Amino acid sequence: MTYCVAVKLEEGLIFAADSRTHAGVDNYATFCKMTLFEVANQVADAMRHIDRRDTPHMDGRPFNASFILGGRIAGRPMQLFRIYAEGNFIEAGIDTPFLQTGEAKYGKPIIDRVITPATSLADGVKCLSISFDSTLRSNLSVGMPIDLLCYERDSLRANLRHRFEPGDAQFNAIRVQWDAGTRRVFKELPELRWSA
């Protein structure tokens, strides 16, 4: 398994994906799963997640893939979809402004608490960084590098594309500060009291 996530905000779209394509502590590969399509005045970004259980094998099992696809075509609103192997899809909206695929459980709580359509792109990037840090910490099948892409609404181009390599100073700064802040807030919580 791997982890991919995208958010749809009023300010634009953010996509992030780890680069692990095969899970297992001794059998994995690194590959960029994010593809950017820019055609004239059209921008779309696609991230693909291929579950290791669903990759083609010699035993004849079928190929199966799930995608997160988003972007904007000039004159139309931004859209964000999760497309399943069967061809059906769901679209991000006001109630659920983010979509995930892969090992989503560890990174979802911070997104649930922080991301709303009104979240800024800068805060969205920080939130997804923490989401990935939580997932990396709790699941060996998700690994760096992490590819990130931001699209600012109405710009019709990718505004930021970055790869967080292992040891990236910005990613580590977020990680260290988040760890320290979480421990500090935990210590400030009131003790629970009950009678015997």
- What digits encode the pLDDT tens for the residues 152-166? 998 878 888 999 999
Closest CA to 147 of 135, 121, 165, 131: 165
Q: How many beta carbons lie within 10 A of that of residue 148, not counting itself?
A: 20
CA distance 37 to 149: 12
pLDDT at 140: 77
CA distance 61 to 54: 8
Contact predicate 158/34, CB 8 Å: no
Among 2-11, 16-25, 131-140, the range scoring the smallest mean pLDDT is 16-25
89-91 β-sheet, strand order: 34-39, 42-49, 66-73, 79-83, 89-91
Region 18-38 average pLDDT: 71
pLDDT at 26: 67
- CB-based contacts of 157, cutoff 8 Å, min separation 6: 38, 43, 151
Kind plus residue range of the DSSP H or E element containing 176: helix 169-188
Residue 192 dihedral angles phi and psi, to the nearest 5°: -85, 135
When mean pLDDT is compared over 21-35, 41-55, 178-192, the highest value belongs to 178-192
pLDDT at 148: 94
CA distance 131 to 125: 10
More confident residue, 86 or 149: 149
More confident residue, 8 or 2: 8
pLDDT at 62: 58
Say which DSSP state 93 is in: -
Pick the CATH number of 3-186 from 3.40.50.11540, 3.60.20.10, 3.40.50.300, 2.60.40.10: 3.60.20.10
Residue 29: is its pLDDT beyond 80? Answer: no
Give me Rg for the CA atoms of the chain.
Answer: 18
Q: Where are the domains of the chain?
A: 3-186
pLDDT at 120: 97
Region 46-61 average pLDDT: 41
Residue 70: is its pLDDT beyond 60? Answer: yes
CA distance 177 to 182: 8
pLDDT at 45: 42
Contact predicate 7/123, CB 8 Å: no
What does the mean pLDDT of the chain come to?
83
pLDDT at 27: 66
More confident residue, 38 or 70: 70
